[in-house]
Amino acid sequence: MSKLVISAIGPASSVQDGGRHGTQRYGLTPSGAMDMLALAAANVLAGNPPLAAAIEIGPFGAAFKARGGAVRVALAGASRNADISGRAVAFNTSMTLADGETLTLGFARGGSFSYLAIEGGIAGEPMFGSLAVNARAGLGSPYPRPLQAGDELQTAPASGAAERRLDLPAMADGPIRVVMGPQDDEFGDATKLFLDGEWKISATSDRMGYRLEGPVIKHLHGHNIVSDGTVNGSIQVPGNGQPIVLMPDRGTSGGYPKIATVITADLGRFAQIPAGKSFRFKAVGMAEAQAELRKSAELLRTLPDRLQPIENFDLNIEALHDANVAGAAVSAVDAGTWHAPSTADVEVPD
């Protein structure tokens, strides 16, 4: 059987899927991909169900080698330099690694997480219905921990299918949208400071929570409340007044007041914000949050309709003219762009 061997990989990289659902009543966190759209894009390109397990790659680089046969994979999410044995490859495309070839990825640019889906999915034993890794809880498969060099993932032999690319809409820009509450009344005028302030994500953040750096948000009645349920995107404010946005490996309940909740449609975009980059929040109503969620669900549903074949040989003459090359650009496979010289082309001196 073919396998994909991890030659090198940075921290914050693990196997993730659509998450572990229906178990929060037992105190089990949902886990799952930080950016569900990017996970789905990689899987659709590889011919898998959209929320199947894939490799979530953190901000640092990684390298993967095919052994025992060819392995077909697909890349999506935060952009980074990528090549297969020296040949540059693009994101939002599928590609096949021949036996012995290595896919090398650089540092993430403009985001934090990329996704590598493997054709046929990742072989593992589901734990409570999911392969998603939560290292703190020892959950996940085939490795219930972050991935490391030397790990091997069993894969199906490459199908030989034509490679494809996926046309995705540009990621929305602007503030991260939130629905205020459920305990925003515990902050009084500080809610305005929360919305007007400029925030950055701390380098101490992880899959459990993103710690925010910015204005100090003061409580009206202290920072302890009776513990209640949390969701992905809940924004807790502990005693130091620096909010924490709860992420997929969060606890299922918490005892700090929650000033707001990031809307589901913006969670992936929020998760991709690099540490140190400034952003703001914007309050929206429940109706808008639900409408945006329906749009996100429709985009996920129609991802297969956005697939396009990759032409094996597509030489764009206009692109060559725009490039920094000497002389006129011609195509060796299009006689219309060139002709053999004739005597009329030759200047004869007087």
More confident residue, 86 or 345: 86
At 234, the amino acid letter reads S
For 104-121, what is the mean pLDDT? 97
More confident residue, 53 or 331: 53
Band (pLDDT 50/70/90 cuts) for residue 312 is low
Please say if the pLDDT value at position 78 is more than 90. yes
Confirm or reject CATH 3.30.950.10 for domain 176-301, answering yes or no. no
| pLDDT for residue 232 | 97
Ranges in the chain annotated CATH 2.40.100.10: 176-301
The gap between the terminal CA atoms of the chain, to the nearest Å, is: 74
DSSP three-state, residue 281: strand
* Number of alpha helices (DSSP H) and beta strands (DSSP E) in the chain: 5, 23
For 13-38, what is the mean pLDDT? 95
Please say if the pLDDT value at position 64 is more than 70. yes
For residue 81 the two structure tokens come to: 């330099």
The whole-chain average pLDDT of the chain stands at 90
Residues 6+ apart with CB under 8 A from 69: 1, 2, 99, 157, 158
